[in-house]
């Protein structure tokens, strides 16, 4: 951390604190997620899971991991800094986001989900605070602590702690055969919240959530009802049987017609009936008025602009054999704007990007100013292109960027393969997001306790942001 100046605290999660920091040599602004040093193994497990996913999966609408190190036994993940989250915007626009902005955000969020799903990854914690938004309006899904590969048939998912309000009925009931549709459910809940400013299913217990699901969405399927009846926790509890209209627009009268349709397609009690991400991307909500044709070039321009800005501020890089070398990452770039099946082109898998080798210097602890410096730019619909918030390092060279070699002293590698280094710290290689990874680019190129939002109040009440052990 001594290579970084701490500018403030931007987030506090169940597993760590996220600090806004500035690289002392390059001026690059980053977000450093410092995992708590907890005795429970779960923190390490979650950190390592997040690292694993972020190293492997890169996409313009996923947050970009720059480097990883461990200091004083705490795992540190260094990310590009992204200006704010969708939750921040909802705190500002408490009646929800303006419809044009909403559609642009949802399109990008769905691209990220579609990218993950096409690689058989489920995120499992989609919610407004995990959607980062850059100053120019690019959204990036973050927090991969719960992401995992789809289980093989018969496999059981374990150790899963998720945010309750966005949990699909099959998750609440601990059906062990859930899959991608859990992300689609969470998306449905989040769309309502983004459109109205209010969480759709705020709940203080699993039973409370189930009650709300049944009253606001639909009755349990026979399969889920069966699981419910057999669960000793719910012994003696009878859920109401509610008559629901099949008409999406009557069911969600606060949403405009097509948005109600898309929400209805996401919020089906039976996971098999929920729309898939490619279907959602083709939904009329996105295709009408030539939205996609107009938005793609706009998004492309923003991404190029950000890549250009970031190429000037990329960190000084160091070339050295590194601890993650044996990791043999296969960066998966398919399903980006340029190459996805969605756009009718062949999937572009495992395209090897140019690598940037980064050395991380071992640091002594140091207290920075942790005053809240979070800056938000809500009033700008898009395009403050001079922003520096998005600081991933994009290499335009054909060879790996390199400079001084690292000089590890007293280094050791722990069982996780992460360098724990008394003097020099661990170092690793992170490939940049390849600006040519998709058609898009190659084509040319904190909450207030007193907040009126019950969601925020609930987050404080639950301390763990509405999380619950499954
Ligand atoms: P946790 O897994 O502990 O919940 P998250 O990854 O969800 O941590 O991050 C917690 C919060 O930190 C986010 O909601 C967001 O406010 C902030 N944050 C996370 N990553 C970044 C980033 N790259 N840039 C700016 N803020 C971030």
pLDDT digits (tens, 9 = 90+) for 164-191: 999 999 999 988 888 999 999 999 999 9
Number of residues written out for the chain = 470
- Contacts of residue 81, defined as CB under 8 A and 6 or more positions apart, other chains included, come to 10, 20, 29, 30, 31, 389, 390, 391
pLDDT at 36: 86
SS3 425: coil
> Of all helices (H) and strands (E), which one includes residue 299?
helix 291-313
Out of 125, 143, 206, 421, which one is annotated catalytic? 125
Question: Token pair for residue 209?
Answer: 């959530």
Q: What pLDDT, on the 0 to 100 scale, is given for residue 283?
A: 98
pLDDT at residue 75 greater than cutoff 90: yes
Model confidence at 205: pLDDT above 90: yes
Q: Annotated catalytic, 125?
A: yes
For residue 18 and ligand 1, the question of a CB distance below 6 A is answered with: yes
pLDDT confidence tier of residue 430, bands split at 50, 70 and 90: low
Distance 11 CA to ligand 1 centre (A): 5
* Ligand 1 centroid distance, CA of 257 (Å): 33
Q: How far is the CA of 133 from the centre of ligand 1 (A)?
A: 11
More confident residue, 82 or 348: 82
pTM of the model: 0.74
Is the beta carbon of 33 within 6 A of some atom in ligand 1?
yes
* Bigger pLDDT: 441 vs 192: 192
Please give the residue that has the higher pLDDT: either 420 or 449. 420
Closest CA to 341 of 8, 161, 111: 111
Instruction: Write the pLDDT tens digit of every residue in 225-259.
Output: 999 999 999 999 999 989 999 999 999 999 999 99
Residues 441 and 273: their CA atoms lie apart, in Å, by 34
Average pLDDT of every residue of the chain: 74
Across 276-285, 359-368, 460-469, the highest mean pLDDT is recorded for 276-285
Cβ neighbours of 236 (radius 10 Å): 5
pLDDT given at position 348? 39
3-state helix, strand, coil in the chain (%, to 5): 35, 15, 50
CA–centroid distance, 156 to ligand 1, in Å, is: 28
Q: Provide CB contacts within 8 A for 334, sequence distance 6+.
A: 115, 118, 119, 340, 347, 348, 349
- Is the CB–ligand 1 distance for residue 82 below 6 Å? yes
User: Is the CB of 252 inside a 6 Å radius of any atom of ligand 1?
Assistant: no
What's the pLDDT at 320?
A: 34
Confidence of residue 368 (pLDDT cuts 50, 70, 90): very low
Q: Please, which residues bridge with residue 133 across strands? A: 84, 139
Q: Is 89 exposed, middle or buried (0-12, 13-18, 19+ CB in 10 A)?
A: buried
Identify the residue whose C-alpha is closest to ligand 1 atom 15: 11
pLDDT at 176: 81
Give the ligand 1 atom nearest the CA of 81: 24
pLDDT tens digits for range 379-418? 323 322 222 222 232 222 222 333 333 333 333 444 333 5
Least confident of 96-105, 107-116, 455-464: 455-464
Both tokens of 37, joined, read 């040093």
Would the pLDDT of 272 be above 80? yes
Return the biggest CA–CA distance within the chain. Answer: 69
Choice between 386 and 310, residue whose per-residue pLDDT is larger: 310
């Amino acid at each position: 951390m001594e290579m970084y100046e701490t500018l403030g605290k931007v987030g506090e999660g169940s597993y760590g604190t996220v600090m806004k920091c500035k690289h002392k040599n390059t001026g690059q602004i980053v977000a450093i997620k410092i995992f708590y040093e907890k005795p429970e193994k779960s923190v390490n497990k979650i950190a390592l899971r997040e690292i694993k996913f972020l190293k492997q999966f890169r996409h313009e609408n996923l947050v970009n991991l720059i480097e990883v190190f461990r200091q004083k036994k705490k795992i540190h993940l260094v990310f590009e800094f992204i200006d704010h989250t969708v939750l921040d915007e909802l705190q500002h626009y408490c009646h929800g986001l303006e419809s044009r902005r909403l559609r642009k955000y949802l399109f990008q969020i769905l691209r990220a989900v579609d990218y993950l799903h096409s690689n058989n990854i489920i995120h499992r914690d989609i919610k407004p605070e995990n959607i980062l938004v850059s100053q120019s309006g690019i959204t990036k899904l973050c927090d991969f602590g719960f992401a995992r590969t789809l289980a093989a048939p018969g496999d059981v998912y374990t150790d899963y702690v998720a945010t309750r309000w966005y949990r699909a009925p099959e998750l609440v009931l601990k059906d062990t055969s859930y899959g991608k549709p859990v992300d689609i459910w969470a998306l449905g809940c989040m769309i309502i919240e983004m459109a109205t400013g209010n969480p759709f299913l705020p709940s203080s217990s699993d039973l409370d959530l189930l009650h709300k699901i049944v009253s606001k969405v639909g009755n349990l399927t026979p399969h889920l009802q069966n699981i419910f009846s057999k669960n000793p926790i719910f012994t003696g509890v009878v859920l109401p049987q509610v008559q629901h209209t099949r008409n999406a627009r009557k069911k969600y009268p606060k949403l405009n017609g097509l948005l109600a349709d898309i929400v209805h397609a996401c919020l089906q009690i039976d996971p098999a009936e929920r729309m898939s991400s490619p279907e959602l991307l083709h939904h009329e909500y996105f295709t009408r008025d030539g939205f996609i044709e107009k938005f793609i070039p706009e998004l492309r321009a923003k991404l190029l602009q950000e890549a250009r800005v970031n190429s000037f501020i990329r960190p000084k890089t160091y070339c050295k054999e590194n601890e993650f070398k044996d990791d043999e990452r296969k960066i998966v770039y398919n399903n980006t704007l340029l190459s996805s099946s969605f756009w009718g082109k062949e999937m572009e898998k495992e395209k090897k990007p140019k690598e940037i080798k980064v050395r991380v210097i071992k640091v002594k602890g140091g207290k920075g100013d942790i005053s809240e410096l979070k800056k938000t730019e809500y009033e700008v619909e898009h395009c403050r292109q001079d922003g520096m918030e998005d600081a991933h390092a994009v290499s335009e060279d054909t060879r790996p960027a390199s400079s001084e070699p690292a000089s590890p002293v007293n280094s050791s590698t722990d069982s996780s393969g992460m360098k724990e280094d008394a003097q020099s710290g661990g170092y690793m290689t992170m490939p940049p997001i390849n600006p040519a990874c998709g058609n898009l680019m190659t084509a040319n190129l904190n909450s207030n306790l007193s907040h009126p939002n019950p969601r925020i109040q609930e987050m404080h009440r639950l301390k763990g942001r509405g999380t619950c052990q499954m």
